[in-house]
Structure 1
Amino acid sequence: MLKLNTKRLDILALNEENLKLCINDFEKFEKNIGLSCSEKNIEDKDRNVFLIRLKDVVKNNEKYMWYTTWIIISKNENKYIGHLMIKGYPNENGEVLIGYVIRKEYRRQGYMEEVLKCIIEWIFLNNDVKSVIADTVKSNIPSQNLLKKLGMTLYKEDEECFWWRLDKL
């Protein structure tokens, strides 16, 4: 599995085996990769998203890291604190869509900023990438502020969401 690191975090791209384990038995998954048990399971809505990611990973096993869930691990606690998704290899316009979630008790501590800076840097290493795209529900002001802080600009909206873009320099 591909692993990226920041000062406080490990960011791990789940391969097919570990993504299945994560979906089916989260505690077993944590033990399998050597984490301290978080005593929490992934939520049903996250499990459904992980199942979508799994279908894409199975179809794109060689480039799984572009289709999977990436687990965010606190180095200090050796615990799962959130995850992000890269939702596919760059499309014909060079765009890559990302999404992210962090557990409530870890919010507003700069973790997601750290994760997004790291993953965007990794994404931009690929020559096929021209832009990173993220969406936020209109009510999620902290996430919107984070994306602005990262240099993303609002470029469209729909009924539910604002859409943000960061172009490769």
Structure 2
Amino acid sequence: MIETERLILRPLTYEQLLKYGKSDNSLEEELNLEKSPRSISPELREALDYGIIPNVADETQNYLFSTLWTIILKESNRMVGDVCFKGEPNIDGEIEISYGTHFEFRRKGYMTEAVSEMLKWAKKQPDVRKLLANTEKRNFSSQRVLRNNGFSQIVEADGIIYWEIRVK
């Protein structure tokens, strides 16, 4: 777990990911959290079913690079969003970060704070040298999170902006 002044970032186990995917508050019950008004987008559902859950189930991999890290607001003891890496570092030491904030918790700085802590965590990992991210061209909030954390825009193509930051 990673803790900040306002947040707790908790990596989910395989069993917890299965509960997360049900969206029936069983995960919140297990973690002793208040119920969350969260929904799973089609994109996240696909990532869970075809990437995150199978990768976390693979015991040869370090699950911390594939699982969802749920973001818990200490003040209300509720899940406010999630952040994840899209797998272990590649041969060049690159990992991709992805994140999402539940609707009612947007524009409060939680994701900027969470991404900052994930960057600090990534810097401590021996094989990580660079973080990558991408945002839709119109997702100004997500772009702000990346800029506030020192990411640089590297290219734009087909309505997607690609970003990077060196950590070593």
Measured against the shorter chain, the TM-score band is over 0.9
Q: Note the C-alpha offset of 1:32.
A: 0.8
**Which stretches in structure 2 are left out of the alignment for 5+ residues?**
none
In 1, the alpha carbon distance for the partners of 2:37 and 2:155 equals 39
Deviation sequence 1:31-87 (CA, Å, 0-9, x none): 011111124443444233222200111124651111111111111111111111111
CA-based RMSD = 1.6
> Scaled by the length of structure 1, what TM-score is found?
0.92
Q: Is the 8 A contact 2:23 2:40 kept in 1?
A: no
Indicate yes or no: 2:25 matched with 1:19: no
1:10 to 8, 11, 14: 8
2:26 to 21, 25, 28: 28
Q: Which runs of structure 2 are paired with 1:1-169 in the superposition (5 Å)?
A: 3-51=1-49, 52-60=51-59, 63-169=62-168
* 1:41–1:31 Cα change, 3 Å: farther
> Scaled by the length of structure 2, what TM-score is found?
0.92
Q: Note the C-alpha offset of 1:98.
A: 0.6
Q: Which amino acid aligns with 1:8?
A: R
Q: Note the C-alpha offset of 1:140.
A: 0.8
In 2, the alpha carbon distance for the partners of 1:25 and 1:142 equals 25
Indicate the SS of the match to 1:90: coil
Q: Quick one: percent identity of the two aligned structures?
A: 29
In 1, the alpha carbon distance for the partners of 2:120 and 2:110 equals 16
Structure 1 segments (4+ residues) deviating >3 Å = 39-45
